[in-house]
A and B are shown apart, each in its own frame.
Chain A
């Protein structure tokens, strides 16, 4: 069955610290992978996406993610976080060879202290 697991439930960092959020998925075929961000009181917005090609994907606001197929992982990184990055982050996977089911991990709440 298709599933997504995010390792960190709640992360607290100081400004300028580096960020890495873990994401592992379970799916037997080709996948499309996504990271979404949800700022307080808002809807989900796309940070970055991977479909094929270069496994290192760059997104908006300085975020990047690396797809490691052998580890079924798609970890999100940012070298230096800002207070404005305080939000909830969701990893998502869509099986490209099935009917397009899009499921999300449990989410990671990031709190950045000024």
Chain B
């Protein structure tokens, strides 16, 4: 398996623009997590899905952030409109919810909003 795949790896956008980050989990995994990593806040859980259903989105910072998982092999995190303070590395991770196994991380998307 290719692992968790995120795209793009780097994104530079202007303030006010819409940004969409993409994630393809490992095939068969039924839990998917979106994290944001910054120097100030560390690794924050934004939202996670079980069986494509959002379970906890309490970490989503504002209404400008939204996430979807239309099927078991694809998820998106959208920021609209983007702001400079959204600049961070966004990681996606997947795992089996009901098995004793770890979560596997993608390479991350480094977002810079100017």
Contact = CB atoms under 8 A, between A and B. Distances in A.
A71 interface: no
A45 B105 contact: yes
Given A34-B102, A51-B100, A99 B56 contact: yes
Contact of B105 (A32, A43, A96, A106): A43
A103 B35 CA distance: 9
A100 B91 CA distance: 17
A59 B102 CA distance: 13
Interface of chain B, helix or strand or loop or mixed? strand
A32 B106 contact: no
The size bracket of the interface on B is: 20 to 34
A90 interface: yes
A49 B102 contact: yes
A101 B95 CA distance: 11
Interface residues of A, number: 24
Contacts of A34: 102-103
Contact of A101 (B42, B43, B48): B48
B45 A44 contact: no
A2 B102 CA distance: 18
B107 interface: yes
B43 A104 contact: yes
Nearest to B6: A43
Interface in B32-67: 33, 35, 42-43, 45, 48, 50, 55-56
12 contacts: A36-B105, A43-B91, A44-B93, A99-B55, A99-B56, A99-B97, A100-B97, A101-B45, A102-B33, A102-B93, A102-B103, A104-B42
